[in-house]
């Protein structure tokens, strides 16, 4: 068994994080040790855990897996050495800086090459202008498997096609902003990359 990398990508609202959670839960059921990472700038909480038998009424309970917020390869490495995980799950991969590529490559191609080891990362492949995000295209190129998800177009409700792009409807001129309130999913026919933002803040503001 060799180490593997799976990349989950698609527009906003395509349930990338949900797919990541499902894959991590499968590994938890197989008694694998999980390390869950997310970018430090993302302070939202999304639960990832393993299902276990609940109370007498047969309801299912969740055993949470803590998500560690990191901003550097050093922080990621410290957590890795402490936890010795079999699987690393990384959410919002497009929000990380380029160090993530090198850290992942070192794990897969050197340290864990011939072991039963897995990295799963989810993130946007392109921004609202259809430009490649920071490191997702490179990670997709080095992946063993790429899972491309689509969403429902918020404009035509799917009548013209599946949503494969993310459309900016408000906010600043930054390529990526954390959160979903300034975005919607759009199919190719409905996507408008030149839609003006409701504010005029610049990248540096």
* Interval 56-68 mean pLDDT: 55
Query: What is the DSSP-derived secondary structure letter of residue 165?
Result: E
Q: How confident is the model at residue 158 (pLDDT cuts 50, 70, 90)?
A: very high
Distance of CA 119 to the CA centre of its chain: 12
Which residue did the predictor score with more confidence, 112 or 200? 112
pLDDT above 70: percentage of residues in the chain: 78
pLDDT tens-digit series, residues 23-50: 998 998 899 999 999 998 876 554 444 4
Q: Which of 175, 178, 181, 122 is nearest to 146 (CA)?
A: 122
Which residue did the predictor score with more confidence, 55 or 4? 4
DSSP per-residue codes, 130-141 = S-B-SSHHHHHH
Task: List the single range of 26-30, 40-44, 125-129, 172-176 with lowest mean pLDDT.
Answer: 172-176
DSSP per-residue codes, 6-75 = EEEE-STTS-HHHHHHHHHHHHHHTT--EEEEEETT-------EEEEE-STT--EEEEE-PEEEE-SHHH
Whole-structure pTM value:
0.82
| b/e per residue 149-158 (b: at least 16 CB within 10 A) | bbbbbbbeee
* Interval 157-171 mean pLDDT: 90
Burial (CB count <10 Å: 0-12, 13-18, 19+), residue 163: buried
Q: How confident is the model at residue 169 (pLDDT cuts 50, 70, 90)?
A: confident
End-to-end alpha-carbon separation of the chain, Å? 49
Burial (CB count <10 Å: 0-12, 13-18, 19+), residue 138: middle
Q: How confident is the model at residue 3 (pLDDT cuts 50, 70, 90)?
A: very high
The helix (H) or strand (E) run that includes residue 88 is strand 87-90
Q: How confident is the model at residue 16 (pLDDT cuts 50, 70, 90)?
A: very high
């Amino acid at each position: 068994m060799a180490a593997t990398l799976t990349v989950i990508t698609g527009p906003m609202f395509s349930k990338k994080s949900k797919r990541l959670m499902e894959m991590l839960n499968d590994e938890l059921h197989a008694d694998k040790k999980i390390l869950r990472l997310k970018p430090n700038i993302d302070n939202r909480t999304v639960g990832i855990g393993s299902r276990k038998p609940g109370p007498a009424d047969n309801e299912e309970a969740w055993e949470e897996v803590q998500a560690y917020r990191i901003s550097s390869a050093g922080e990621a490495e410290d957590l890795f050495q402490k936890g010795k995980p079999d699987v690393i799950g990384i959410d919002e991969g497009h929000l990380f800086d380029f160090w993530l590529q090198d850290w992942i490559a070192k794990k897969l191609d050197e340290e864990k090459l011939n072991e039963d080891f897995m990295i799963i990362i989810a993130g946007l492949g392109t921004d609202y202008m259809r430009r490649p995000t920071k490191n997702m295209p490179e990670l997709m190129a080095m992946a063993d498997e790429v899972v491309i998800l689509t969403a429902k177009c918020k404009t035509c409700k799917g009548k013209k096609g599946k949503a494969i792009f993310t459309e900016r409807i408000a906010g600043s001129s930054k390529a990526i902003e954390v959160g979903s309130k300034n975005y919607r999913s759009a199919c190719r026919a409905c996507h408008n990359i030149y839609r003006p933002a409701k504010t005029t803040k610049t990248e540096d503001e």
